[in-house]
Chain A
Amino acid sequence: MRSTFREKVFIGQSRLLVWLLVVVCSLLSIVYSVSREVSGVKREFANQAWQVQRAVIHRVANLETVLTALVGQHHASDNLSSAEQTLFSQELLKAYPFIHSIMHVEQVSKEDVAAFEDRMRVEGFVGFKLKQDRGVKPGSGSQYLGFQLPVSFIEPMEPRTANFLGYDLANESSFTMLIEKAIKDGDTIALETLQNRYINEPLYLILKPIYLGRYPPEKASERWEMLSGFAVLRIDVEQFVSSLELPGQNLGLKLFRGVPENGDGQSRLLAQFGAEIGQLGLFEHRLNFTQPLEIHGLQFTLSVTRKISLNAIQGSRVFIEWMITMLVLGLIIAVYRNRRYAKLQEEAAERVLAIEGARFTNVIDTAFDAVITADGSGRILSWNQQAKEVFGYDERFVLGLRLFQLILSPETFVKLESELIKILQRQDDQPSRLRLETQGQRKNGQEFPLELSISSSTAGNSPMLSIFARDITERKRWDERVRYLAYCDSLTDLPNRQAFKEQVARAINAAKRHNRIGAVLYLDLDEFKRINDTLGHDIGDMLLQHITKRLVEQVRVSDTISYSHSGQFSGKNIARLGGDEFTVLLDEIDEPEDAAIVAKRVQNVIARSYNLNGHDVYVTPSIGIAIFPRDGHDVEELLKNADTAMYHAKAVGKNNFQFYTDQMNALAATRLKLEGKLRKALAGKEMELYYQPQIDMRSGQLVSAEALLRWHQPELGMIPPDEFIPIAEETGMIIELGEWVLNEACRQNKAWQDAGCQYIRVAINLSGMQFIQRDLSVRVENSLRTSGLDPKYLEFEITESILMRNVNETIAALNEFKMMGINISVDDFGTGYSSLSYLKRFPLNSLKIDRSFIRDISESADDVTITSAIIAMAHQLNLGVVAEGVETQRQLDFLQQQGCEMAQGYFFSKPLPAEEFEAMLSGSDNKVMRLQQN
């Protein structure tokens, strides 16, 4: 959000003020922290100095303790030997390293001085004598005291300290008063010996009197009389100071003799220890603690110093305090700013509210949904532009009206009233939602699919409804379209497999429920693939549409379902499962024969020619019928069985219908088994060509032979052609078999010719699938070239149905063969549906009259007529005629009479293996000979 000018000014002023406050508070905080730190350091220093003072006092007390111990040793021992004295002193010196040495001073009267000196010499101190400083008036002190005080023992006794033996303390008059006092009071005294002949530096001695006997006398006069000597400690002043444990590394400690501040020049520095405090820097300050110290009458001054500087101040603490100050300042500023800013924000919020309101209104008005608000009783509060578009009412006229009565038809409102009341009368504060699809009503009364989203909430304390309404007419339409695509075959508009299965499932259930029967007709077009392959898929699709049209028109209305683009079911039960497979559901029949009637009708309707973009197409159906619930209790089983029945129909010759029987499954299994073996038959050399002679009835000559395929299956024996040829055609293996037949027939014929046999034609049957091979002519050429057979000794037999399937293409192909010199005859003529006009156009050589006509010549006048007509017609068309299935003389006579040129049949010879046929060809066979004789 952009700041306003007032806010910017405020922010600018605030920043300046804040910076000023930060600077001032920072300075105050730092000054306060530093001064507090300095105070802290001073307090700490005072404490440290106090600790040092205590340590010094403690150390002085130690001196008294040591002296008391030494005096006690003397008093306790009756005959204290030098060895005992030495050991005891050594231990004390170890314990108190600031004691330089321990001495024993003996009280020696003037009269005993010589004896004392003599005793010392006897003890090994060669040349021992009392040592008295010449600078002092001899005997001045001792005269006052009345005795000498020579050192008779010193520990540690080392070359330098041993020199102190014999030193007479009583010789120094300055000591006499003190010594006198010490003796009388029994007190400890301290002496400072001056530098003299025997002493290089001032010595600080602490003395405690030792008296005769075990217990010190209590009276002063007795003490004087009973004085034995003194226990003396010499203080190592340097060690006395330096061995102190200072409570801080930054402390400096000095010990002065006298009082430095007096300025009398008599004070002098005796020892110093710790930090050396030199010249002070700019931000440095010296803290000094000076304390007079009296040690048994001698005046000393203890000075403890410490330097403080800004470096010593704990920056972290100052920083933390500064941080705290800044935090407090920050809080104060924040509170102030918040209050000040709140007003500006309030104003800004009002502006934002206005903008948001306008934006909200804009959003609502431009929404694709009708957005309506209503109060707790359902009365309209707002009505956006889209609501007007959807329902046709202007906002001015609907505000305050009851919403649901307005936008719903009365019937719909009644239906939904209970649900709407629930949401309208909701008492709690929890928002609730209702989403539903219903029928809306426009201002003009038109009803339409409407989607409503209703949310209840509160505005302030009042309940409120937010309604989003959407016209879903278009969406419904799309839903229907999607459903159509899911359940309908787009090519034929018929229900697809899924839709059909659902329908069948319902029908099965209904049949079970009402104890009635129904049927499913499973319809597959015979050789539809050929049409697709030869004429293209567009023609194939067109054929399917035509078939659909015929089916829909012909099948009884109650038996079919179909699906129109309008999305409405017509109630017809035809479906296309895919490819060329159609199904018809007969959901209510009285008996299975009713299904047969429908199947026959379907068969008849379909098996007619179709003109598809100029192509005349002929197609037949094979139909399987399954009765439910007998043949299947569910869809899958029922369809499978219908499919099986359909396959059976194909197996028994196509263009028929078959009811499903349980045996069909067994047949189907057998068929499957055969199919498997057939695939291995060629490789296993199980196929063989038999040859049946064709006799020129005019000359009685064997002029040609029909090659017939035989299968010697090693396990099953001889398999009839009518069993395995349909399988070969359905599986496509017919192509491979056909090629093998072509090659073998050519090879064998040439072999016969090469063997010197009579030259004859060998006729082979071309299947429909073979015939549509685009490279069939190439294969034929290759076979002829490979075998070396002259094409005029090869003949193709083509059935009527193949011939008529695709006339133009067939003519072209036949012309190619004709050009090669190959003979062409129409096989099984009379059983199919041939157009005579087309026959004329085909480059045919002959017609082969189907055996069914020949067989019944003797009994059937019709067959006689038909046969005669065929022969006459063929002659009219300049075509030869071959009679198939001639088995009797009578038949032969009739045919000869009608002018039939050639005959074939068991009358002459059954089909023979190549070896036997060769024998016949060589003229050794009786039957042929007989014909020739006739």
Chain B
Amino acid sequence: MSPAHSKFGLESQLILIILLFLLPFGAYSKNKCLYISSYHQGYAWSDGVERGLRKSIGTQCELKQIDMDTKRHKDEAYKQQVAKEARDLILSWKPDVVITADDNAAKYVIQLYFKGHEIPFVFCGINWNVDAYGFPYSNTTGMVEVAPIDVLFNKARSIRVGAERAVYLGADTLTEEKNAVRFEEMAEKIGLQLDRHLVASMAEWLAAYETAQEYDFLIIGSNSGINDWNESEVIDRLKLTTHILSLTTHNWMMPYSMLGFTKIPEEHGEWAAKAALAILDGVSPTDIPIVSNRKWEIWVNHSMLEVSGLKLPGPLVRKAKKLH
């Protein structure tokens, strides 16, 4: 080998080594994404959203996360304070896109500080509609969280044939209030009387549950917001008092329900990630329509079913995921 070749070979090798060294750094994009969760890590819904988000966004964007933790801190001052902190971080860090999950982030951060702002926002997990926040803005798009209410009512009435009265039981939160309204609207459409019990404590919830046993079936909303919730105590009580069909659209409420048509939080995270990446790719938020989630899962809680003594249709039991 001539000296020239030898030198060239050495240079090439050095460049290759440097490139290989830089490869791990290059794997991370320069894009910056901020994810603002309305709630806290450990909350099943939020964890699912985050899981879907992180899986889809991968390494294509440097991701920072803020958990507003407004499920456990309900006072208004706290919410506003944590929203300010989020705002400050957005302004100082200047992310290329901000992703928010659930209502409080949309309400206290986007609506309050970033309506029409140059920084694009992608929201997800906002229940049913975005009218309350005035969306869409020029800088926002996202996915609305809807529950398979029609499916739930259809099934409930196919099981409890001739049902006329039902009750909705949930925590006394904004989200649950919106959910209850949606259920009520649908109930009205199909000629069903749907009463509402939104409670603040476990005792109230249990009392309401017992009261609900008088109805044809029970729709169990989210317990998120009931801070003194004790799972084992609730289940023990339910085993003593359950007689009627209970249904839910939240998978974390399945231990207390017989039948579930549950939303999939990952769908929201995935959509938000894809929308964010499209925006980073140059698509305007206005060219991305606001859509709703479409996926849901079927669950049957056999222990609760045994307690009640009810029988579900065979095809439904065979198809549904089982919870014992």
Contact A126–B274 (Cβ < 8 Å): no
Complex CA–CA separation, A79 to B144 (angstroms): 22
Contact A82–B294 (Cβ < 8 Å): yes
- Which B residues are in CB contact (< 8 Å) with A165? 289, 291
Contact B288–A163 (Cβ < 8 Å): yes
Distance of A151 from chain B, by nearest CB (Å): 11
Q: Which residue of A lies closest to B141 (CB)?
A: A159
**Option from A123, A127, A162, A163 in Cβ contact (under 8 Å) with B146:** A123
Contact A126–B130 (Cβ < 8 Å): yes
Instruction: Tell me which residues from 118 to 161 in chain B have a Cβ below 8 Å from any Cβ of chain A.
Output: 128-130, 135-136, 141, 143-146, 148, 151, 154
Contact B290–A126 (Cβ < 8 Å): yes
Query: Given A79-B154, A160-B283, do A124 and B291 touch, yes or no (CB 8 Å)?
Result: yes
**Option from B148, B151, B288 in Cβ contact (under 8 Å) with A162:** B288
Complex CA–CA separation, A125 to B146 (angstroms): 10
Q: Is B70 an interface residue (CB 8 A)?
A: no
Contact A159–B294 (Cβ < 8 Å): no
Query: Given A79-B154, A159-B141, A159-B283, do A127 and B290 touch, yes or no (CB 8 Å)?
Result: yes
- Which A residues are in CB contact (< 8 Å) with B288? 159-160, 162-163
- Which B residues are in CB contact (< 8 Å) with A162? 288-289, 291
Contact B135–A126 (Cβ < 8 Å): yes
Q: Is B287 an interface residue (CB 8 A)?
A: yes
Contact A159–B129 (Cβ < 8 Å): no
Contact A124–B292 (Cβ < 8 Å): yes
Contact A81–B148 (Cβ < 8 Å): yes
Contact B292–A83 (Cβ < 8 Å): no
Contact B291–A81 (Cβ < 8 Å): no
Complex CA–CA separation, A158 to B294 (angstroms): 12
- Which A residues are in CB contact (< 8 Å) with B275? 159
Complex CA–CA separation, A128 to B145 (angstroms): 16
Interface flags for A717-752 (1: CB within 8 Å of B; 0: not) read: 000000000000000000000000000000000000
Q: Is B89 an interface residue (CB 8 A)?
A: no
Q: Is A86 an interface residue (CB 8 A)?
A: yes
Interface flags for A148-163 (1: CB within 8 Å of B; 0: not) read: 0000000001111011
Query: Given A81-B151, A159-B283, do A125 and B290 touch, yes or no (CB 8 Å)?
Result: yes
Query: Given A82-B294, A83-B295, A159-B283, do A124 and B128 touch, yes or no (CB 8 Å)?
Result: yes
Contact B289–A127 (Cβ < 8 Å): yes
- Which A residues are in CB contact (< 8 Å) with B128? 124
- Which A residues are in CB contact (< 8 Å) with B296? 81, 83
Contact B283–A83 (Cβ < 8 Å): no
Contact B290–A159 (Cβ < 8 Å): no
Instruction: Tell me which residues from 130 to 189 in chain A have a Cβ below 8 Å from any Cβ of chain B.
Output: 157-160, 162-163, 165-166
Complex CA–CA separation, A79 to B157 (angstroms): 15
**Option from B129, B136, B289 in Cβ contact (under 8 Å) with A163:** B289
Q: Is B293 an interface residue (CB 8 A)?
A: yes
Q: Is the interface of A mostly helix, strand, loop or mixed?
A: loop
Complex CA–CA separation, A123 to B294 (angstroms): 9
Q: How many A-B residue pairs have CB under 8 A?
A: 68
- Which A residues are in CB contact (< 8 Å) with B141? 159
**Option from A86, A121, A126, A163 in Cβ contact (under 8 Å) with B295:** A86
Contact B278–A159 (Cβ < 8 Å): yes
Complex CA–CA separation, A125 to B142 (angstroms): 10
Distance of A154 from chain B, by nearest CB (Å): 10
Query: Given A86-B294, A159-B141, A159-B278, do A125 and B289 touch, yes or no (CB 8 Å)?
Result: yes
Distance of A86 from chain B, by nearest CB (Å): 5
- Which B residues are in CB contact (< 8 Å) with A83? 148, 294-296
- Which B residues are in CB contact (< 8 Å) with A86? 294-295
Complex CA–CA separation, A158 to B295 (angstroms): 14
Distance of B174 from chain A, by nearest CB (Å): 18
- Which B residues are in CB contact (< 8 Å) with A126? 129-130, 135-136, 144, 289-291
Q: Which residue of A lies closest to B295 (CB)?
A: A83
Q: Which residue of B lies closest to A198 (CB)?
A: B287
- Which B residues are in CB contact (< 8 Å) with A85? 294
Complex CA–CA separation, A79 to B151 (angstroms): 9
Q: Which residue of A lies closest to B185 (CB)?
A: A122
- Which B residues are in CB contact (< 8 Å) with A159? 141, 271, 274-275, 278-279, 283, 288
Q: Which residue of B lies closest to A78 (CB)?
A: B154
Most chain A beta-carbon neighbours within 10 Å: one of B151, B288, B294, B295: B294
Contact B148–A128 (Cβ < 8 Å): no
Contact B151–A124 (Cβ < 8 Å): no
Interface flags for B154-184 (1: CB within 8 Å of A; 0: not) read: 1000000000000000000000000000000
- Which A residues are in CB contact (< 8 Å) with B271? 157, 159
Distance of A612 from chain B, by nearest CB (Å): 101
Instruction: Tell me which residues from 208 to 251 in chain A have a Cβ below 8 Å from any Cβ of chain B.
Output: none
- Which A residues are in CB contact (< 8 Å) with B278? 158-160
Contact B274–A158 (Cβ < 8 Å): yes
Complex CA–CA separation, A82 to B151 (angstroms): 11
- Which B residues are in CB contact (< 8 Å) with A123? 146, 292
Complex CA–CA separation, A83 to B294 (angstroms): 5
- Which A residues are in CB contact (< 8 Å) with B135? 126
**Option from B146, B274, B283, B295 in Cβ contact (under 8 Å) with A124:** B146
Q: Which residue of B lies closest to A164 (CB)?
A: B289
Distance of A133 from chain B, by nearest CB (Å): 15
Distance of B22 from chain A, by nearest CB (Å): 31
Q: Which residue of A lies closest to B273 (CB)?
A: A159
Q: Which residue of A lies closest to B263 (CB)?
A: A83
Complex CA–CA separation, A124 to B131 (angstroms): 11
Q: Which residue of B lies closest to A87 (CB)?
A: B295
Interface flags for A75-91 (1: CB within 8 Å of B; 0: not) read: 00001011101110000
Most chain B beta-carbon neighbours within 10 Å: one of A81, A82, A127, A162: A162
Contact B136–A127 (Cβ < 8 Å): yes
**Option from B283, B289, B295 in Cβ contact (under 8 Å) with A128:** B289
Most chain B beta-carbon neighbours within 10 Å: one of A121, A123, A126: A126
- Which A residues are in CB contact (< 8 Å) with B145? 124
Instruction: Tell me which residues from 198 to 247 in chain B have a Cβ below 8 Å from any Cβ of chain A.
Output: none
- Which A residues are in CB contact (< 8 Å) with B129? 121, 124, 126
Complex CA–CA separation, A551 to B283 (angstroms): 150
Complex CA–CA separation, A162 to B274 (angstroms): 12
Most chain B beta-carbon neighbours within 10 Å: one of A85, A124, A158, A166: A124
Complex CA–CA separation, A130 to B141 (angstroms): 18
Q: Which residue of B lies closest to A131 (CB)?
A: B289
Complex CA–CA separation, A158 to B275 (angstroms): 7
Q: Which residue of A lies closest to B186 (CB)?
A: A122
Complex CA–CA separation, A128 to B279 (angstroms): 20
Q: Which residue of A lies closest to B142 (CB)?
A: A126
Complex CA–CA separation, A127 to B144 (angstroms): 12
- Which A residues are in CB contact (< 8 Å) with B151? 81
Task: For the A-B complex with A85-B294, A86-B295, A124-B145 known, give 19 more contacts whose Cβ atoms are closer than 8 Å.
Answer: A81-B148, A81-B296, A83-B148, A83-B295, A86-B294, A87-B295, A124-B128, A125-B291, A126-B136, A126-B144, A126-B291, A157-B294, A159-B271, A159-B275, A159-B278, A160-B288, A163-B287, A163-B288, A163-B289
8 A-B pairs closest in CB distance: A124-B292, A126-B290, A124-B144, A159-B278, A82-B294, A159-B288, A159-B275, A124-B146
For this complex, 5 residue pairs linking A to B, each with C-beta atoms less than 8 Å apart, are: A87-B295, A121-B129, A124-B290, A127-B289, A162-B288
Binding site for A on B (CB under 8 A): 128-130, 135-136, 141, 143-146, 148, 151, 154, 271, 274-275, 278-279, 283, 287-296
